[in-house]
Structure 1
Amino acid sequence: MSFLRQEPAAPAWFLSLAFLGTLYASAVSFRLLAYLALCLRRPKDLRRRYGAWAVVTGPTSGIGRSVALELASRGLNLVLVDLDADNLREISNTIRSHHAVQTKTVVFDLSLVSTAQGDEALRRLREAVAGLDVGVLVNNAGVAKPGAVYLREADVEACVRLMRVNLWAVTEVTAAVLPGMVERGRGAVVNMGSASSEAIPSFPLYTMYAATKRYVAQFSRSLYVEYRSEGIDVQFQVIYIARYMFDA
């Protein structure tokens, strides 16, 4: 007679949950290791990889200001584009007082794109970057108003301003800077997006804003495919919640 007791086999549902739990833990561990590797990796030499200059729109406050200061700390000279001359002067002086880089400023109200005034400002931008080794473009400037409003109640002029800044300006500024990148065979375009168009299925009361950011997402994806053979990276940053990167 045997005194060894056999344990009953685990039920199928328990094995299934254990398997799913293992997969989830493995996925979390992989993401954590990837994040640690990214943190420990030496920063890229952006100047050597892409070029000596960067163009940043909306650099006077918020994310745009932080990006401009970070690029300056990495040794890139900056072409700063914003609608307010005084604010541009302030950020330009701040950058040069902290970092040994050059700056240029272009006063450009991006809400006037596709108007006579906007065409003149775009001409000044093209002149400002002509002959420069522009390797990075950051399309940061954006408008969120009108917000928290039904579309039928939204101010038409505000909607047009939003579309001009979030859609047309991103396209026009990119088209102005890209030819030089193609000629040099290197460059990076960074477009700022929003979780409102990527992380959630809809964003009611901010319909126009979410729709314009969806355009920026598709614009970035298609631009990456269009120009990756030219040595140009394209990156679409979804602020706060997620990040989709399209670079080689």
Structure 2
Amino acid sequence: MAAVDSFPLLYREIARSCSCYVETLALVGALYTVSKAVTLMRDCYSLIRLHFIPRLVYPRDLVHRYGKWAIISGASEMIAKAYAEELARHGVCIILISTDSTTLNDITRTISDTHGVEAVLMQADFSHGALTCKPIKDAIKDKDIGFVINCLNLSLDIPRDFHDISENELWQIVNNTVSAASLITRLALPGMAERRRGAVVNISSGRCSRPCARKAVLSASTAFFDHFSRALRYEYGHHGVFVQSLLPGSVASEGDDGSIITGWLVPKPHVYARHALSTLGISHRTTGYWPHTLQLGLVRCVPEWIWVLGERVMCRKT
């Protein structure tokens, strides 16, 4: 102890003995910083390549690449109607399928008159069982089906306790979301695989990409749509069928007074559809809209318990 009679001398002795560890930690820190910088640059490049470059190039010939006809399931949803109009703008003929066809007469007529393509409206309630498929099968017979668009019923986004949903309502939800998407895709896939071209797009909800309290049905349906898309991609990708899972954030909807509140993070449906369609053939799993991609990236960084807590607070407010 006599040899160490001052703090500076003690510090120098300790620093000399720990110098190798300090250098090692500095190297680890530098490698970590470099890896994070590379990841950030890669994400920025992916964002530009997916959401900006495709919108700058000359519009693609979707009919030649995928096919002449598109089936739109869940066509009463705002996103589905906007996506149908965007496809029609590219010369694609449309088959709209909904449980309530009376609300889609105007949009069907508008698509046909505005874009000069054929537009067919069909009513199909899959809660009635597999017999619902026969009229659809007859309608698509001998047609060059190039697109199958399955849109989740976003009215499920309203917070509700699971036990408050009646058995009949739950059966209808399951049949007209999970069953409808599965059966309609099943009807079109053989022709797509035979022609070695086509696209299947399943639109769910990026807001429920993680478990959400009081939105159990929407969360589960989103998980099904997402995993269904990813599985079909590996199964039919080598047959020339492009399968995409769209996980949009908030998209503007019409209020009770007819007004539509929009913003940078809440685009109008036709704006979202235009962005989303530009990602077709490029990304198998995306939000379809670059601000939503930033949102989803932040959500993935949040621990699940914080996410669930925030969802509970938001549900109480609504």
Q: Give the TM-score category using the shorter length.
A: 0.7 to 0.9
Residue 26 of structure 1: aligned partner = 41
Stretch moving more, 147-156 or 66-75? 147-156
Q: State, as a whole percentage, how many aligned pairs show the same letter.
A: 25
How many residue pairs get matched?
231
Does the residue aligned with 2:117 lie in a helix, a strand or coil? coil
Higher strand fraction: Structure 1 or Structure 2?
A: 1
Stretch moving more, 66-75 or 181-190? 181-190
Residue 112 of structure 2: aligned partner = 96
Distance 1:127 1:56, change over 3 A: same
For 2:128 and 2:98, the matched residues in 1 are separated by 13
CA contact (8 A) 1:60 1:91 kept: no
Q: Give the C-alpha shift of residue 53 in structure 1.
A: 0.7
CA contact (8 A) 1:47 1:76 kept: yes
Alignment match of 2:85 (pick from 44, 57, 69): 69
Alignment match of 1:79 (pick from 91, 95, 118): 95
For 2:202 and 2:163, the matched residues in 1 are separated by 29
Residue 137 of structure 1: aligned partner = 148
Distance 1:57 1:33, change over 3 A: closer
Alignment map for 1:90-129 (pairs within 5 Å): 90-110=106-126, 112-114=127-129, 119=131, 121-129=132-140
Distance 1:224 1:85, change over 3 A: same
The root-mean-square deviation of aligned C-alpha atoms, in Å, is 2.9
Q: Deviations over 1:164-191 (max 9, x none)?
A: 1221111011111112212222111111
Residue 199 of structure 2: aligned partner = 188
For 1:146 and 1:45, the matched residues in 2 are separated by 35
Does the residue aligned with 1:226 lie in a helix, a strand or coil? helix
Q: Give the C-alpha shift of residue 42 in structure 1.
A: 2.5
Residue 213 of structure 1: aligned partner = 222
Stretch moving more, 224-233 or 148-157? 148-157
Query: Where do 4+ consecutive residues of structure 1 move more than 6 Å?
Result: 241-244
Residue 155 of structure 1: aligned partner = 166
Distance 1:187 1:151, change over 3 A: same
Higher helix fraction: Structure 1 or Structure 2?
A: 2
For 2:235 and 2:39, the matched residues in 1 are separated by 36
- Say which one has the larger Rg: 2
Does the residue aligned with 1:104 lie in a helix, a strand or coil? strand
For 2:45 and 2:63, the matched residues in 1 are separated by 31
Residue 233 of structure 1: aligned partner = 242
The TM-score, its normalising length taken from structure 1, stands at 0.81
2:212 is the alignment partner of 1:203: yes
The TM-score, its normalising length taken from structure 2, stands at 0.64
Residue 50 of structure 1: aligned partner = 66
In the alignment, structure 1 segments of 5+ residues that lack a partner are 1-10
Question: What letter corresponds to residue 26 of structure 1 in structure 2?
Answer: M
Residue 301 of structure 2: aligned partner = none
For 1:208 and 1:82, the matched residues in 2 are separated by 20
Stretch moving more, 122-131 or 29-38? 29-38
Q: Deviations over 1:110-167 (max 9, x none)?
A: 4x252xxx61x32111100000011111012525448423323332222222211221
Does the residue aligned with 1:222 lie in a helix, a strand or coil? helix
